[in-house]
Structure 1
Amino acid sequence: MSSDHIPDGLLFGRAWVPGFDHPRVVTVRDGQVVDITAPGMASVRDVAESGRAAEYVRTAPGQAVGAVEAVMANALAGGSRQDVPRLLAPIDLQAIKASGVTFVVSLLERVIEEQARGDKSRADALRSEILDLIGTDLSQLVPGSDAAMKVKAALIEKGVWSQYLEVGIGPDAEIFTKGQPMSAVGHGAEVGLHPISTWNNPEPEVALLVTSKGEIIGATLGNDVNLRDVEGRSALLLGKAKDNNASASLGPFVRLFEGDFTLETIKQAEIALRVEGEDGFVLEGRSNMAEISRTPESLVSATIGDHHQYPDGLVLYLGTMFAPVQDRDGAGKGFTHKIGDVVSISTPSLGTLTNRVNLSTKCPPWTYGTSHLLRDLARANLL
């Protein structure tokens, strides 16, 4: 695995720090990872919900616990050094939500999955057929608009209407639960594939940190690991396709909005993906946030509001336009992961999130949950 730069700006997240039996809240200052855990500010949730997250992360007293290069290297080495902090996903008590079919390329690939009924060998032929039928640049459509509804009617007439086209250009966004609070893995960790899947892929995304009041205060990188064959068999299997052990990756840090780094920065970001296989296979791709069909604000509004509250806030994956179709094991066979693949997702403003692929049954089991954190923080007089 390789590690790219750590961006400037207000970064914070979580780490296991030697000498402590519970995760610590950390930031990065002057090349050092700094522990800023304090009573009342003992979780990422506490900091985010304080109403002064940026000020706290910038000014809170702290203790340097390791050089950032050493901490990042230890993450990529699977936390093998016990004397160096090990990074965790940079959220804790927040709900883990995701939005789907927010880019036209992703939309078309979901239609192909549905039509293929999980059979990846049919994907190429279906892709050509569907593109010929649609004959419209869907990326120019505003979801829910009159123009979008006319395209919807035309597609129904042609017999290619799909539930994915409904959420792609219809009035309502697809918002789903990606995982439970505390279940996400961080930079350097293994990401998991359910062992029943034979057609799957990474989904390189930006994820927003959102408070209980619906305020978007920062962003991080995410891998919304996806099982194309499982979801393709039936959208009712979305939970099985999306929510498995180690299937949600976030990190390496949350960067808080401040100064020149704003939500507008995220809207113009280009997200790079690189997959390196032990078989020598290399896949590269990019996802341009400027091509998203629903604004980040509209996706957040579809998630939290009068219709649904999140008292501990949430993190929201924004979706991806990158659906890998590059043949890996022969013509027409498309892309699917192999065990040992190294997946790196990067953008200059947020850094690089790197994970290695394994089966969800072989990844370290999720054993430290909300109850464990609260008990440990209470024992340490930090609540």
Structure 2
Amino acid sequence: MRYYCTVEDGKRRLVAREGDDAYDLTAARPSVTAFDDLAHVADVASETVDEVAHRLVAEAASVPVPDETDAAMPLDVDEVWAAGVTYEISEQAREAESGMPEMYLDVYEADRPEIFFKATPSRVVGPDEAVGVRGDSKWDVPEPELGIVLHDGDIVGYTVGNDVSSRSIEGENPLYLPQAKVYDRACSLGPCVATPDAVGDPHDLEMTMTIDRDGERLYEEGTSTGEMVRTCEELVSYLTRHNTVPETTVLLTGTSLVPEEGFTLEAGDRVDIDIERVGRLSNPVTTV
């Protein structure tokens, strides 16, 4: 199943979608208003999220399939982390921007992946909310990524993520990475959470990104998560190794869609990221 949050009369509701059918799970259990609520119940019951949802569907009202651009943030995330240099093109791009290019090749080929902190809840936006580019940065790009949704360190679903980044700040010095990555509106997630059964093999998903400005298509490319040199399980293993993550954590898995050197995001642009069997995340851009 795929799980969306909608807002009705100012109140959030969790909607489960299976094929062309959708069900208001909050109507069946008023305390379940986001995906992490459902994941918590499933953990207590020692069941999968979909097994819990199927029981609630019998009591839930049928509703229209949510419009992904109108959906709210599907979960209350405690932390967002990210992996870097997991695709060859990402390694090449970060070599090109950096004064220390050899370090990125070393990470790409190393046993240990790059894992870094990305966002607190206040820095994350949902579908159709504006992602930010820093006012002190001259080169800013979106980074479309498959996001792994964790409950107490276990994989319970997948979402779409945009790891917006300042390539100019990181390129000045790798030690500036936190400033290039962590700032207001630096991350977007959504439009839903798809469970492992709905996604199937997370390493075989088509991913596309488009960037539009003033009605003109500036960028349109696609790739596959099959190009990733690390597995989701491996990345989660390193994130949780000697590190107790909060109950609801998202780990972004890296990008392989990199706009050409010289392109930079501007306020008013719109970024659309589509991942097969997960969904389409759309965000306008603003300066922060």
TM-score tier (shorter): 0.7 to 0.9
Whichever residue aligns with residue 222 of structure 1, its letter is G
The separation in 2 between residues aligned to 1:198 and 1:344, in whole angstroms, is: 22
**In structure 2, do the counterparts of structure 1 residues 98 and 321 end up closer, same or farther at CA, with 3 Å as the change threshold?**
same
Q: Please name the residue that 2:82 is paired with.
A: 98
Q: Please name the residue that 1:57 is paired with.
A: 53
The separation in 2 between residues aligned to 1:291 and 1:221, in whole angstroms, is: 17
Whichever residue aligns with residue 298 of structure 1, its letter is E
The separation in 2 between residues aligned to 1:102 and 1:93, in whole angstroms, is: 23
Q: How many residues align?
A: 279
Q: Please name the residue that 1:34 is paired with.
A: 24
Report if aligned partners of 1:93, 1:182 keep a CA contact under 8 Å in 2. Answer: no
Q: Please name the residue that 1:341 is paired with.
A: 269
Displacement after TM superposition at 1:276 (Å): 1.1
Q: How does 1:157-196 map to 2 (within 5 A)?
A: 162-181=102-121, 183-196=123-136
User: Any gaps of 5 or more consecutive residues in structure 1?
Assistant: 1-9, 76-86, 116-159, 326-332, 361-383
Within the alignment, does 1:251 sit opposite 2:179 as a pair? no
Cα-to-partner distance string for 1:260-287 (whole Å, 9 max, x where unaligned): 632x2x2011211111111724211122
The separation in 2 between residues aligned to 1:321 and 1:93, in whole angstroms, is: 24
The separation in 1 between residues aligned to 2:248 and 2:208, in whole angstroms, is: 27
Q: Please name the residue that 1:324 is paired with.
A: 259
The separation in 2 between residues aligned to 1:166 and 1:298, in whole angstroms, is: 18
Q: Please name the residue that 1:152 is paired with.
A: none
Q: How does 1:84-163 map to 2 (within 5 A)?
A: 87-115=71-99, 162-163=102-103
User: Any gaps of 5 or more consecutive residues in structure 2?
Assistant: none
Q: Please name the residue that 1:147 is paired with.
A: none
Instruction: Work out which of the residue numbers 1, 16, 20 in structure 1 matches 2:7.
Output: 16
**In structure 2, do the counterparts of structure 1 residues 16 and 91 end up closer, same or farther at CA, with 3 Å as the change threshold?**
same
The structure with more radius of gyration: 1
The separation in 2 between residues aligned to 1:11 and 1:319, in whole angstroms, is: 22
Cα-to-partner distance string for 1:5-40 (whole Å, 9 max, x where unaligned): xxxxx11143333153xx443323655462427366
Q: Please name the residue that 2:14 is paired with.
A: 25
Report if aligned partners of 2:3, 2:14 keep a CA contact under 8 Å in 1. Answer: yes
Say which SS state the counterpart of residue 15 (structure 2) adopts.
strand
The separation in 2 between residues aligned to 1:17 and 1:99, in whole angstroms, is: 35
The separation in 2 between residues aligned to 1:178 and 1:26, in whole angstroms, is: 27
**In structure 2, do the counterparts of structure 1 residues 343 and 163 end up closer, same or farther at CA, with 3 Å as the change threshold?**
same
Aligned Cα root-mean-square deviation (Å):
2.3
The separation in 2 between residues aligned to 1:43 and 1:68, in whole angstroms, is: 16
* Larger displacement relative to structure 2 (40-49 or 337-346): 40-49
Say which SS state the counterpart of residue 88 (structure 1) adopts.
coil
Report if aligned partners of 2:123, 2:183 keep a CA contact under 8 Å in 1. Answer: no
Say which SS state the counterpart of residue 315 (structure 1) adopts.
strand
Q: Please name the residue that 2:284 is paired with.
A: 356
The separation in 2 between residues aligned to 1:353 and 1:67, in whole angstroms, is: 19
Say which SS state the counterpart of residue 324 (structure 1) adopts.
coil
Q: Please name the residue that 2:199 is paired with.
A: 261
* Larger displacement relative to structure 2 (44-53 or 309-318): 44-53
The separation in 1 between residues aligned to 2:134 and 2:23, in whole angstroms, is: 34
**In structure 2, do the counterparts of structure 1 residues 200 and 19 end up closer, same or farther at CA, with 3 Å as the change threshold?**
closer
Report if aligned partners of 2:22, 2:64 keep a CA contact under 8 Å in 1. Answer: yes
Say which SS state the counterpart of residue 12 (structure 1) adopts.
strand
**Greater fraction of residues in strand:** 2
Say which SS state the counterpart of residue 290 (structure 1) adopts.
helix
Whichever residue aligns with residue 52 of structure 2, its letter is Y
Within the alignment, does 1:209 sit opposite 2:149 as a pair? yes
Report if aligned partners of 1:95, 1:312 keep a CA contact under 8 Å in 2. Answer: no
Cα-to-partner distance string for 1:288-345 (whole Å, 9 max, x where unaligned): 211111111111101014x1112413111000112111xxxxxxx6211122111111
Cα-to-partner distance string for 1:127-172 (whole Å, 9 max, x where unaligned): xxxxxxxxxxxxxxxxxxxxxxxxxxxxxxxxx7533223221222
Instruction: Work out which of the residue numbers 156, 161, 171 in structure 2 matches 1:232.
Output: 171
**In structure 2, do the counterparts of structure 1 residues 161 and 236 end up closer, same or farther at CA, with 3 Å as the change threshold?**
closer
Q: Please name the residue that 1:80 is paired with.
A: none
Q: Please name the residue that 2:216 is paired with.
A: 280
The separation in 2 between residues aligned to 1:225 and 1:182, in whole angstroms, is: 15
| Percent of aligned positions that are identical | 30
Report if aligned partners of 2:163, 2:187 keep a CA contact under 8 Å in 1. Answer: yes
Whichever residue aligns with residue 211 of structure 1, its letter is H
The separation in 2 between residues aligned to 1:311 and 1:250, in whole angstroms, is: 17
